[in-house]
Amino acid sequence: MSARTNGYFTMVINSIQSDIDSSGKASIAHSMPVVQPTEGKFVILCSNRNIPPPQDSHNHYQLLLWSGLKPFKIYQTLYEAGDNFSVAFISENSIARLRLYPLTWAGIKAAIKSCLPLAEKRLQPWLDTIERELSNDPGRYLYNSDDSEMHYDTFMNLREPVTKNQALYFLTSEMHVHQLYYDTLRNLHPDNLPERYLCSAKDFTMADCVELLPSQISIPEETIKTYSNLPGIVNGFLSKANGRVFGRICSTPTRQERPKNLSYVPRRKTAFVFGPETVQTLLLQKKPYEILLELGMLPEGIHEKCCIRKHVYWLILLCPGQCGSKLDFYEATWQGVVEAMKVIYPQAYDDLLIHLDEIKATNIETFEKQAQFRFIEVLPFRDSLNYMSYQRFCNLPHPRKAWQVRLFLYCELRLLELFAGDGHTKLEDGRIGEKEYLCRNYNLFDLSRNQYVILPLSIDIPDAVIKQFGQSE
């Protein structure tokens, strides 16, 4: 009896590779199977038991879900990377050799204990709690799980003890624990589900596959709409957050490097965000490129990031108090800065109050003459002697001067030349921009899953901008 009709299978990605000829054009394209489009420690193997064996003519979207892939990853692979999937049938010899752990809580715990003993020590305080809470209310805790990944290396580099949210991220990213509940949420009866097992990714290779069956994947229309329609995603999150949503645009060098904090600047404690006013208007009415312009970014900078450096822009949406830790946001006015300083930089708070009137009435150039250097020149060099970090400020002797307080605000809070203290951004051409807020530089892994959404933005650079600043390299 063949592996197709009586055995195990998983889904593999077919990465389309293009050969480049001497003229620089793509010529022959070929498909290269890869075990799983994940950097995780485990692969999910499915048994044909309880379900018909996969056939050539079937839509294998459901098989992808059963194999541990999330809808967002499937959408990215098919519509953004241009790759496809195949069903991989596993040889009987491989099944006899591989150690399989049932995709149950007992199996997950056994797999962690056997394969990831160092991670087990970190997870142990939370395993029973997470199992109980997911069983009682899986929808609440698994919302937004498409957007969050925490794999082994990241998890092991976290400061101990890890939080419950960090443990949950790891269990969904590495151990596929969400698979225990997604079928229930989709109202699929257990009798119609395949038996699924975890298999250590280091033990499983393409050599274990005896047959590849190309897939014709039809993603549900609703799923395509969800991930390709920015206003649709924003509206969906707004409805869950009762309209009070804040946001920030950031960038990373690659799509694989999702943002972990609101600001990537090392050791930065605060970040600027836009508020519900912007989320409910600009994000619903404008295209991504137009949104970047309205938020004060310049065409040359956008072009340089997207076309030359190949960076990826991301939209982060935050919900202050939705089923998790309360998030605090302060209006970007001078009064808001004072309130934020009292909570986030308490040892600088009194000095700000002493010099606030002078700081509000004095331009940066005047303070630079007192300091004898330009503030903007020290901004990229945090280890510079002139960079005013919080620690350095706290070590200054009393009384502290007004220019030292203003330099601290410049370096640490990023209150630059265009900061007017009226609660709005100020654009290069002098126009008043969107309303802005100040908050902690939150680590997204510390938040509950339903408190944020991360979305990659597809930026369409106008032809005129490309022509002006040059083609992409």
> Which residues, 6+ apart, have CB-to-CB distance to 470 below 8 Å?
303, 307, 308
- The lowest-confidence range among 99-113, 310-324, 360-374 is 310-324
Q: Which of 265, 257, 231, 263 is nearest to 312 (CA)?
A: 257
Average pLDDT over residues 365-385: 90
What residues contact 468, with CB distance under 8 A and at least 6 apart? 299
Check whether 349 has a pLDDT greater than 80. Answer: yes
**Among 394-398, 405-409, 413-417, 455-459, the least confident range:** 455-459
User: Which one, of 401, 424, 274, 411, lies nearest residue 345 by Cα?
Assistant: 411
Q: Which among 13, 17, 19 has a CA at the least distance from the CA of 39?
A: 13
Query: Three-state SS string across the chain, please?
Result: CCCCCCCEEEEEEEEEEEEECCCCCEEEEEEEEECCCCCCCEEEEEECCCCCCCCCCCCCHHHHHHCCCCHHHHHHHHHHCCCEEEEEEECHHHHHHCCEEECCHHHHHHHHHHHCHHHHHHHHHHHHHHHHHHHHCHHHHHCCHHHCCCCHHHHHCCCCCCCHHHHHHHHHHCCCCCHHHHHHHCCCCHHHCCCEEEEECCCCCHHHEEEEEECCCCCCHHHHHHHHCHHHHHHHHHHHCCCCCEEEEEEECCCCCCCCECCCCCCCCEEEEECHHHHCCHHHHCCHHHHHHHCCCCHHHHHHHHHHCCCEEEEEEECCCCCCCCCCEEECEHHHHHHHHHHHCHHHHHHHHHHHHHHHHCCHHHHHHHHCCCHHHHCCCCCCCCCCCHHHHHCCCCCCCHHHHHHHHHHHCCCCCCCCCECEEECCCCCEEEEEEEEECCEHHHCCHHHEEEEEECCCCCHHHHHHHCCCC
Which range, of 68-77, 263-272, 460-469, averages the lowest pLDDT?
68-77
The residues with which 45 forms a beta bridge, in sequence order, are 197
What confidence score (pLDDT) does residue 81 get?
59
383 vs 227, higher pLDDT: 383
CA distance 394 to 390: 6
Q: pLDDT by residue (tens digit) across 93-134?
A: 899 999 999 999 999 999 999 999 999 999 999 999 999 988
- Give per-residue pLDDT as tens, 173-232: 888 887 787 666 555 555 667 888 999 988 888 888 888 887 778 778 777 766 667 887
Give Cα separations from 236 to 232, 273, 450 (angstroms): 6, 20, 12
Cα dihedral sign for 320, 224, 277, 431?
positive
pLDDT band per the 50, 70, 90 thresholds, residue 39: low
Arithmetic mean of pLDDT over the chain: 81
Token pair of 6, please? 């009586």
pLDDT at 143: 47
- Residue 311 CA to residue 307 CA, distance in Å, equals 8
Ranking 65-79, 141-155, 208-222 by mean pLDDT, the lowest is 141-155
What pLDDT was estimated at residue 18? 32
What integer is the mean pLDDT of 320-333? 76
CA-CA distances (angstroms) from residue 368 to 35, 158, 353, 364, 373? Answer: 57, 39, 20, 6, 6
Highest-scoring range by mean pLDDT, 20-34, 35-49, 278-292 = 278-292
pLDDT at 22: 34
Confidence of residue 27 (pLDDT cuts 50, 70, 90): very low
- Tokens representing 112 are 């962690």
Within 13 Å and on the Cβ side, how many CA atoms surround 444? Answer: 27
Using the predicted structure, report yes or no on whether residue 313 has a pLDDT greater than 60. yes
* pLDDT value of position 104: 92
Residue 182 pLDDT: 64
Q: How far is 443 from 262, CA to CA, in rounded Å?
A: 7
Whole-model pTM?
0.65
Residue 393, pLDDT above cutoff 90 = yes
Where residue 461 falls among pLDDT bands split at 50, 70, 90? Answer: confident
